[in-house]
Amino acid sequence: MKKILGLLLFAATAAAQTPDPALLIAMRGIKAIDNHSHPPALVAAGQKDDDFDALPCDPLEPTNPTISGRPENPRFIAAWKAMFGYKYNDTDSLHVRSLLAAKQRVKAAKGDNYPAWVLDQLGIETELANRVAIGRGLNAPRFRWVPFDDALLFPLDNTEVAAATPDRKIFFAREDALRRRYMKDLNVTQLPATLDGYLSQVVVPTLERQRRTGAVAVKFEVAYLRSLNFTRGDRAAADRAYARHVAGGVPNATDYTALQDVIFHHIAAEAGRLGMPVHIHTGYGCGGYFELAGANPLLLEPVLDDPTLRGTKFVLLHGGAGPFSQAIAPLLMKPNVYTDFSEQTWLLPTRELSKNIRYWLEWYPEKVLFGTDLSPGSPQIDWEEIGWQTTTSAREALAIALTGMMNDGEITRARALEMGRMVLRENAIGLYGWAKP
């Protein structure tokens, strides 16, 4: 009897790890909306696209990728075959050279339509492009812009906060440059003398300009710069810190944190007024000095529970990738909170990803979004191949999650198909207020 029960248990477990064939075919056929990505713009020969991320990982001390992101992942060869007609089952240097030549031929033939062609190969209808500026070839409605607003949180002398780690030294230099760029776009030559002036002359006009020029949401990577433990902030302390140090000098940690909290709250409220959801990086981040504890989405509860921000929609990006994935689920109970599984698509193997997706779907399926977090890579494994790997893994993981729920009697086949469409596109359409095609 024990042997029979063991075999039955093994069979049930195996079934839950294998997607229903018809369900998988259906998931592969849905035109998806990618909630989070960093696609590169087209550039002329010899030029560099430096706008694909406000805080790119490239300059940091190298760290090893997880198994799914390593070059030996067979899905990258599958991507070469599907997208560029690669004829081999290996990565021999001569064979890869032919791949690169084939890729260049496609790029030349497609011209400015190449990024849209890539989306066609991935089965993605619309991709939210997290970029400093949108860039050539990344045209709406296929690509929708999500700019970064972390630079607005740190208007004073950042010498002390930048000294915390080698990574932050690099990142704060970029944030300072980006804030200056935003001010130049507004023809503001120097910081206003008061915090009220900064909010009204720099922060709000920047958000309005972003919205006016196509932004559909705003993005914070702030976990790379400080903890997510935002509060309403002490407005009096914030006013004093700003006035005391706007002309120079380094603010103390307590006063500067209060200032950042006040500015963050103001941005969140204004983003809600403008109809732009606020995207926040949660969980795992690149770089060997990344402080994971500060990226815990539970630290955001004071913000998510703030009655004055209920008009703002928050998307907790990456689903707390790492140790916080399960903590995301109960946060989705809040009416204005959503999540996606971007980044997890290349951090985790497909089966592990399916477990997190299933857990969220068993809580609030209408709050879960598809995302890839694709970004530029090497000439051999660039955003096209990363997009193929992440999209393929995501669709299969979603099918595995829905199959397990269906096999366990939690949902019907019809509901599984409906939930698949919700995750891959319908939830995003509702979140961003887009008309259904």
| pLDDT of res. 7 | 41
Contacts (Cβ under 8 Å, ≥6 apart) of 374: 34, 37, 38, 39, 383, 386, 387, 390
The stretch 6-34 carries a mean pLDDT of 76
Q: pLDDT tens digits, residue range 360-403?
A: 999 999 999 999 999 999 999 999 999 999 999 999 999 999 99
| pLDDT of res. 427 | 98
Is the dihedral angle over the CA atoms 246, 250, 252, 254 positive or is it negative? positive
Task: Residue count of the chain, please give it.
Answer: 437
| pLDDT of res. 268 | 98
10: confidence class by pLDDT, cuts 50, 70, 90: very low
For residue 437, pLDDT beyond 90? no
| 278-283/218-220 β-pairing | parallel
| pLDDT of res. 15 | 46
Between CA 185 and CA 196, with CA 190 as vertex, the angle to 5 degrees is 95
Q: pLDDT tens digits, residue range 99-132?
A: 999 999 999 999 999 999 999 999 999 999 999 9
436: confidence class by pLDDT, cuts 50, 70, 90: confident
215: confidence class by pLDDT, cuts 50, 70, 90: very high
322/316 Cα distance (integer angstroms): 13
- Beta carbons of 245 and 251 less than 8 angstroms apart: yes
- Beta carbons of 231 and 257 less than 8 angstroms apart: no
Q: pLDDT tens digits, residue range 247-294?
A: 999 999 999 999 999 999 999 999 999 999 999 999 999 999 999 999
Between CA 95 and CA 103, with CA 101 as vertex, the angle to 5 degrees is 105
Helices (H) and strands (E) in the chain, counts: 18, 8
| pLDDT of res. 2 | 43
393/285 Cα distance (integer angstroms): 20
For residue 5, pLDDT beyond 60? no
77/389 Cα distance (integer angstroms): 10
What whole-number percentage of the chain has pLDDT above 70?
96
- Tell me the CATH class for 19-432: alpha beta
| pLDDT of res. 13 | 43
| pLDDT of res. 12 | 41
Query: Would you give the distance in Å from CA 210 to the centre of its chain?
Result: 18
Contacts (Cβ under 8 Å, ≥6 apart) of 337: 304, 313, 314, 316, 331, 367
Looking at every residue in the chain, the average pLDDT score rounds to: 95
259/269 Cα distance (integer angstroms): 16
Query: Would you give the distance in Å from CA 391 to the centre of its chain?
Result: 14
DSSP state of 148: B
Query: Would you give the distance in Å from CA 26 to the centre of its chain?
Result: 25
Q: pLDDT tens digits, residue range 137-159?
A: 999 999 999 999 999 999 999 99
For residue 1, pLDDT beyond 70? no
Q: pLDDT tens digits, residue range 75-93?
A: 999 999 999 999 999 999 9
pTM of the model: 0.95
| pLDDT of res. 435 | 87
For residue 3, pLDDT beyond 70? no
| pLDDT of res. 351 | 96
| 32-37/314-321 β-pairing | unpaired
HSE-up of residue 301 (Cα within 13 Å, Cβ side): 8
Any idea of the CA torsion for 65, 69, 71, 74, to the nearest 10 degrees? 150
| pLDDT of res. 243 | 97
- Beta carbons of 431 and 315 less than 8 angstroms apart: yes
